[in-house]
Amino acid sequence: MRRGSQPSGAVAVIAPAVLLAALLLLWWAGTALTGIEAWRLPGPGAVARRGAELLAQPSTWRRMGVTAFEALMGSLAGAVVALPTSYAIYRFRLFQAAVEPFLGATQAIPAIALAPLLVLWVGYGLAPIVALCALMVFFPILVSSVLGLRHLDRDILAAAELDGASGWVMARFIELPLAAPSILAGLRNGFTLSVTGAVVGEMVMGGSGLGGVLGQQRQNLDTAGMFVTIGILCLLAMSAYGAIYRIEKGRRRAGELS
């Protein structure tokens, strides 16, 4: 395989499976051979049994759907604001000079610290959780999109301008397609973070999703259940990441064929 190339289909499946098997073996050995209490670190078998119990309950799937919906709505809201803002920063120097000093400052504020303010401003329920998710995904989408736009090939842009492209035509057919890999990378990372935002929002502001389940399991010392819930959250984040990665991969293949 050439350096920097994508792994083949077989390698892409076998390598993660081998790593997962090794990690499960180490996990089992750590619990079986050390005698650690199950409430501190349950074994893989106990987690699997608890997972079967939870997944058999309709409420688990309903809560999973709530968290996924909150994360999706927050991601879309963040992207709707971040993408035009990134293009304005790239296109207008005055706007860039005015906005950029404050963007870094917004990331110094922990997401959990914003939750009480959002409750005061928006109230409880779906809206503040979606707002928190949007705030978490905004910055990675913005930064990646601006980076992609700033590194466009100037020769291509100059050639397009000579052909009469400008304004919306330039953005729609030249700049945004060329910056698409960076934009999609930002969306991929941002949408993954939105799951974290949804869980933090539910744990701090209340909610009927998996964040509330984690809080209940912590109070009940249901460590195996917490492992299962965290695993479900990882799968949700991986699903968002994988979906956008497939779109990105499809665009790359289409570009190679054209």
- Our CA angle for 252, 136, 210, nearest 5°, is 100
DSSP for 28-75, written as a single string: HHHHHTT---TTTS--HHHHHHHHHHHHTSHHHHHHHHHHHHHHHHHH
Residue 6: the pLDDT is: 59
Residue type, 162: L
211 within 8 A of 198, measured Cβ to Cβ: yes
* Dihedral sign computed on CA atoms, order 198, 204, 207, 213: positive
Residue type, 21: A
Tokens of 95: 């706007």
Residue 34: the pLDDT is: 84
**Given a cut of 70, is residue 2 above it in pLDDT?**
no
Using DSSP, state whether 220 is helix, strand or coil.
coil
Domains of the chain, each with CATH number or no CATH: 50-257 (1.10.3720.10)
Q: Quote the pTM value.
A: 0.84
Tokens of 79: 């992207």
Tell me what the mean pLDDT of segment 158-173 comes to: 82
Give per-residue burial for 77-107: e unless 16+ CB within 10 Å, then b: bbbeebbebbbebbeeeeeeeeeeeeeeeee
Residue 62: the pLDDT is: 95
**Given a cut of 90, is residue 245 above it in pLDDT?**
no
Residue 77: the pLDDT is: 94
pLDDT tens, position by position, 11-67: 777 888 899 899 999 999 988 888 888 888 999 999 999 999 999 999 999 999 999
**Given a cut of 90, is residue 103 above it in pLDDT?**
no
DSSP for 121-189, written as a single string: HH-SSHHHHHHHHHHHHHHHHHHHHHHHHHTS-HHHHHHHHHTT--HHHHIIIIIHHHHHHHHHHHHHH
Query: Who contacts 81 (Cβ-Cβ below 8 Å, separation ≥6)?
Result: 134, 138
pLDDT tens, position by position, 171-213: 888 888 899 989 999 999 888 889 988 998 888 887 789 998 9
> Considering the chain, what percentage of its residues have pLDDT values greater than 90?
41
160 within 8 A of 124, measured Cβ to Cβ: no
**Given a cut of 80, is residue 150 above it in pLDDT?**
yes
Residue 3: the pLDDT is: 54
**Given a cut of 70, is residue 4 above it in pLDDT?**
no
**Given a cut of 70, is residue 123 above it in pLDDT?**
yes
Residue 121: the pLDDT is: 85
- Distance, CA of 54 to CA of 68 (rounded, Å): 17
Number of helices and strands (H, E) in the chain? Answer: 11, 0
